[in-house]
Structure 1
Amino acid sequence: MSRLGPGDVACWVLKSTRPPELIDPGWREGTVLGLTRCVRRSYRLDLVHPGQPCLLWVSGRTDPGVHALGEVTGGAEERDGGPVLPVRLTRLPSPVARADLLADPVARDAEVLRMPAGSNPSWLSPQQYAAVLAHLPPHPDAALGPWPV
């Protein structure tokens, strides 16, 4: 695939080398946190809009995979260090493991798995996003229903 279009992206993938407890030591499992994530300046930022789904992908050797999911809350903003994207994320009680997604016949083709050092934000197609959602751990408070997506 060359250039992404609006219909290609079902979910934005924001990558981090730091796990949630290092991003914010008070960020508990099952809780929501508003924050900004550094992103790379590219045409992709023109495709990102408030309300779109996003997730936090932690790379590295310790628990790589999806650690939080939520939504974009604003457009990309320029800061001293470059562009950032405001998001609201709910921390999962356990990550969706990279190994589980590599074993999934649909998810394994996701850009973040094929090209881990690729662009930030990365993205998931509608089918890949559905595959990731199918791997989510149960919500810690069953009375609240499924994870917000």
Structure 2
Amino acid sequence: MTSPSRPVTEQTLGAWVIKCNPRLTALEPMVATGRAKTSWCIADNYRSRLIEPGQRVLFWVSAHPRRGIWGAGRITGSPCTEDDGLHVATEIGLFDDPVTAEELASVAELRTMEVFRSPQQANPSWVSRTELEVLDGLLPAAPIVGHAGG
């Protein structure tokens, strides 16, 4: 059944949000390298068909005392099927300090972000263009990640 008004469209998308539960995916190795892992499992649905290389992505850590946005970067590949399902490639640099959910929820325009409304939503989640404009004023610059010499 098709919904008459899907909230995520090319026009409304500000950035994708990849969520990481450290109870299921080791966070320490990512913190040690200053970057999130480069491939994330995503749901095979209409959202995955909107994902394109170059789009912005935020890294949300859940189930942690400092839950919130821990990094930012870009989608680096089109979704592809791997042995365990659909995945998307990313380059996400981690911030020195996360912007916590508590800090984000103190901003009226961000209280309705999908990660607050539907915390169990499968990857990818998303923020609107309007929410991203507000977030850009709050988030530290993410370190540039990439390959040596590139």
- Given the alignment of the two structures, is residue 126 of structure 1 paired with residue 132 of structure 2, yes or no? no
TM-score, normalising length from structure 2?
0.82
CA contact (8 A) 1:70 1:88 kept: yes
Post-superposition CA distance 1:118-139 (Å, at most 9, x none) = 13101111111122222223x5
CA contact (8 A) 1:20 1:91 kept: no
CA contact (8 A) 1:20 1:27 kept: no
Structure 2 match to 1:27: 33
- Given the alignment of the two structures, is residue 56 of structure 1 paired with residue 62 of structure 2, yes or no? no
Matched letter for residue 135 of structure 2: V
Structure 2 match to 1:136: 139
Structure 1 match to 2:68: 65
Structure 1 match to 2:19: 15
Structure 2 match to 1:78: 81
* Unpaired runs of at least 5, structure 2: 145-150
| SS of structure 1 residue aligned to 2:134 | helix
Post-superposition CA distance 1:84-113 (Å, at most 9, x none) = 110001110000110111111111111111
Q: For residues 67 and 37 of structure 2, what CA distance do their matches in structure 1 show?
A: 22
CA contact (8 A) 1:38 1:85 kept: yes
Distance change in 2, residues 1:25/1:135 (3 Å): closer
Matched letter for residue 116 of structure 2: L
Distance change in 2, residues 1:124/1:47 (3 Å): same
Q: What's the offset of the Cα at 1:26?
A: 3.6
| SS of structure 2 residue aligned to 1:116 | coil
Over the residues paired in the alignment, what is the CA RMSD in angstroms? Answer: 2.2
Runs of 4+ in 1 over 6 A off after TM superposition: none
Aligned length: 138
Q: What's the offset of the Cα at 1:20?
A: 7.4
Q: For residues 49 and 77 of structure 2, what CA distance do their matches in structure 1 show?
A: 12
Q: For residues 108 and 78 of structure 1, what CA distance do their matches in structure 2 show?
A: 34
1:72-111 to structure 2, matched below 5 A, reads: 72-111=75-114
Q: For residues 134 and 10 of structure 2, what CA distance do their matches in structure 1 show?
A: 20
Q: For residues 83 and 90 of structure 1, what CA distance do their matches in structure 2 show?
A: 22
- Amino-acid identity (%): 27
CA contact (8 A) 1:57 1:67 kept: yes
Matched letter for residue 15 of structure 1: K
Distance change in 2, residues 1:12/1:112 (3 Å): same
